[in-house]
Amino acid sequence: MRPGAPIATDLVLLGGGHAHVEVLRRLGQRPVPGLRVTLVAREPLTPYSGLLPAVIRGEIFPAQAHIDLARLAARSRARLIMAEAEGLDLASRRVLFAERAPLPFDLLSIDVGAAPSAPEGAIAVKPIGRFLARLGEIESGLSRGGRIAVVGGGAGGVELALALARRFAGRFALVLVSDRPEILFDAPPGARRIARVALARAGVSLAIGVPATGFSCGAVCLGNGETVAADAAIWATAVVGPPFLGDAGLACDEAGFVKVAPTLESLSHAHVFAAGDCAAMEGFPRPRAGVFAVRAGPVLAENLRAAAAGRKLRSWRPQREALAILGLGEGRALAWRGAHFCLSGRWVARWKERIDARWMAMYAPGAMGAMAAEEPMRCTGCGGKVGADALVEALVPLVEPARPDILAGLAAAEDAAVSAPPPGLVLVQSVDYLRAFLDDPFLFGEITAVHALSDLYAMGAEPWTALAIAGVPYMRGEKMAEELAALMAGAARALADAGCTLTGGHSAEAAELALGFSVTGLAEPGALFSKSALRAGDRLVLTKPLGIGILLAALPRGRLGAADLGAAIAVMRQSNAIAAGLFRRHGIRAATDVTGFGLAGHLIEMLRASNVAARLDLAAIPALSGALQLAESGIESSLAPANRAVLETALGGPPLAHRAVALLVDPETSGGLLAGVGAEASGDLLSDLAAAGLGAAAIGEVFPASEGAPRLRLM
């Protein structure tokens, strides 16, 4: 065993809101031995609401107002699951999703914000990330001179109207609609006056004193039967709690917010905590503002730490009134506290800028550099088999209906699987085994299965059966079984998509999570693809972009951004089935899949087997977003140097100084297929691959090999 404690408690942080980023930061700085932290986040980039108006005004880029949860989780040694939770099973302590296996927890902390409450046809300002994405649509959907209504006269609505007026100045008119007789109803009269002047200067008209009830036929409908003409309506009114929280049985108030004690613990479920907009502390009514979520962060971190250790929780009293600062635009801001005191001016705007910048800096990649070195969170385990019950439990839900060609599969529970191949077809077999490169066991299981099946597609075979072998690190209690179940559920999804039946499996305790498959495919003997079928004149076609090894090397170093990680995952999840089918349709015979040896290594294997040479056009090699920049900053996979040595031998010397060379030696997990295509068929094949949504490219050409000349040339 390495010194780390085995995983004893699973803490799931649901939602990457303002409180949870601080929990992550603190638990990352001082991890709790045996506590595994998993963040579940719908959006991998979480917005900081204080900077939203500056983004809308066009003063800063959206990235400057967002915290990258992939980097924060990596630095904090927390697992990140990029998915939207759709429910909770509090009795069996599981977070439920639409498209993936349930996630078990011992402790759950919820910071998912509030749910939008916009009527049909209107645009909700929440979730902020989605609203920002829709701003462009509003802009392009309206003709010049159009009118936009912002519904909601609180701080959020007023600030939003001012920011939009600035952004759309001279193009669209703005009207602010509010049910209250005054805007900023709870603010001091002086603050209301200043805000009214700012709205008038920005050209925002007011329609206040009657509630808005809906939006249809180019108008906001009001409670008194009148309407306010508007081409688009943005709803920034009171919000409600996400319905799935109350539906799960958590005690919630009448608006659906989780009722919590001063310890932030749910009043109904002792192992559940909540903070931020989605929580309501009895006796402390307060506006839904990010500042309260931010303040809750340190207390929540401390209490989650205490709950994991079975220690007493600390009580917290949020202030009744927080300082509100509202950007007026034109470099000015307005601040107030309670109903009596207010300030405004340029210096208030500078003050707000400093507060916002200080907060964002705490979660910037550089600031997190010193985190998380103390306690390795992963247990390295001891040898031995995982309990038979755990394996059976994980495999039983995967039992498929009986098939005549599977004589003994999972359902039979024999010592070995028995299957009868259809007459006239040949068996095509391969084996692959990967150490976990992602913390999400479900996604890792799915991608590993896609990766293993890739060998069959590279041979032109159809997947038939698979046997699994899994290594799971030692954890206490039920956790190993749960980890195995999530792993196998992800794999089962990919196998089912491929029409491949899982017929058996074996699991063992291991130093780290790992999964492998022995896969068997079926093919007509004359229809197999081969590495030795390249011919001079063939174009080389690659079906997926390269760079996965570089990105996966950047991930644990906290150097990989959420957007690039998301794109890499999408590529790894992509099966090669469609590409292989198109290869068959276009009569291709020479193919392989690009995996651990990198494009160069796998191509050189083909060139040797076919006794030909090739030229690669470096400018045509497709790259995953971020891969080239990371490679230039010195990030590469530990396998790259060995692959580079093979490339140098084939080139007869060092490669050109070109940035794409890093891609040639990059080991690809679940990479694409590489094929040799006759020049006349390559155009049609590329069009079909593009129509199927694959990022394929023609990357070079095959020519006759000549004695003593290099096998490979780079251009």
Ligand X SMILES: Cc1cc2nc3c(=O)[nH]c(=O)nc-3n(C[C@H](O)[C@H](O)[C@H](O)COP(=O)(O)OP(=O)(O)OC[C@H]3O[C@@H](n4cnc5c(N)ncnc54)[C@H](O)[C@@H]3O)c2cc1C
Which residues here bind ligand X, judged by CB under 6 A? Answer: 14-19, 40-43, 46, 49-50, 52, 84-85, 111-113, 125, 127, 156, 159-160, 236, 276-278, 288-291, 293
Q: Are 705 and 612 in contact (CB under 8 A)?
A: yes
Q: How far is the CB of 326 from ligand X (least distance, A)?
A: 7
Query: What six digits make up the tokens of 107?
Result: 């402790």
Q: How far is CA 225 from CA 121, 147, 319, 669, in A?
A: 18, 20, 40, 61
Task: List the one residue out of 18, 11, 56 whose CA is nearest residue 37.
Answer: 11
Task: List the one residue out of 186, 185, 181 whose CA is nearest residue 206.
Answer: 181
For residue 558, which phi and psi values (nearest 5 degrees)?
70, 20
* Nearer to ligand X among residue 368 and residue 417 (C-beta): 368
Q: How far is the CB of 463 from ligand X (least distance, A)?
A: 33
Q: Within 13 Å, how many C-alpha atoms sit on residue 530's CB side?
A: 11
- Catalytic hit among 342, 379, 382, 500: 382
* Nearer to ligand X among residue 46 and residue 595 (C-beta): 46
Task: List the one residue out of 535, 573, 571 whose CA is nearest residue 675.
Answer: 535
* Nearer to ligand X among residue 318 and residue 710 (C-beta): 318
Q: What is the DSSP string of 252-290?
A: B-TTSPEEE-TTSBBSS-TTEEE-GGGEEETT------H
Cα–Cα distance measured from residue 136 to residue 285, given in angstroms and rounded to the nearest whole number = 36
* Nearer to ligand X among residue 335 and residue 591 (C-beta): 335
Q: Are 471 and 384 in contact (CB under 8 A)?
A: no
Helix axes 155-167, 189-201, angle to 10 degrees: 20
Cα–Cα distance measured from residue 576 to residue 571, given in angstroms and rounded to the nearest whole number = 10
Pairing between β-strand 123-124 and β-strand 107-110 as defined by DSSP bridges: unpaired
Q: How far is the CB of 391 from ligand X (least distance, A)?
A: 30
Q: How far is the CB of 41 from ligand X (least distance, A)?
A: 5
Q: How far is the CB of 176 from ligand X (least distance, A)?
A: 13
Pairing between β-strand 612-616 and β-strand 147-151 as defined by DSSP bridges: unpaired
Q: How far is the CB of 479 from ligand X (least distance, A)?
A: 22
Can you tell me which residue has the tokens 């519904």?
A: 151
For residue 165, which phi and psi values (nearest 5 degrees)?
-60, -40
Cα–Cα distance measured from residue 130 to residue 518, given in angstroms and rounded to the nearest whole number = 42
Q: What is the DSSP string of 121-161?
A: TSEE--SHHHHHHHHHHHHHHSPTT-EEEEE--SHHHHHHH
Q: How far is the CB of 155 from ligand X (least distance, A)?
A: 7
Q: How far is the CB of 239 from ligand X (least distance, A)?
A: 9
Pairing between β-strand 173-178 and β-strand 332-337 as defined by DSSP bridges: unpaired
Q: How far is the CB of 72 from ligand X (least distance, A)?
A: 12
Q: How far is the CB of 157 from ligand X (least distance, A)?
A: 8
* Nearer to ligand X among residue 125 and residue 456 (C-beta): 125
Query: What six digits make up the tokens of 710?
Result: 């290099």
For residue 638, which phi and psi values (nearest 5 degrees)?
-65, -15
* Nearer to ligand X among residue 191 and residue 278 (C-beta): 278
Pairing between β-strand 697-704 and β-strand 539-542 as defined by DSSP bridges: antiparallel
Q: What is the DSSP string of 575-632?
A: -SHHHHHHHHHTT--EEEE--TTHHHHHHHHHHHHHTEEEEE-GGG--B-TTHHHHHH
Q: How far is the CB of 112 from ligand X (least distance, A)?
A: 4
- How far the first Cα of the chain sits from its last, in Å, is 50
Q: What is the DSSP string of 25-53?
A: HHHHHSPPTTEEEEEEESSSEEE-GGGHH
The reply to whether 382 belongs to the active site is yes
Q: How far is the CB of 234 from ligand X (least distance, A)?
A: 9
Segment holding 325, helix H or strand E: strand 324-329
* Nearer to ligand X among residue 237 and residue 576 (C-beta): 237
* Nearer to ligand X among residue 51 and residue 449 (C-beta): 51
Beta strands in 481-557 (DSSP E): 501-509, 514-523, 539-542
* Nearer to ligand X among residue 127 and residue 622 (C-beta): 127
* Nearer to ligand X among residue 101 and residue 406 (C-beta): 101
* Nearer to ligand X among residue 41 and residue 108 (C-beta): 41
Amino acid making up residue 112: V
* Nearer to ligand X among residue 236 and residue 569 (C-beta): 236
Active site residues: 382
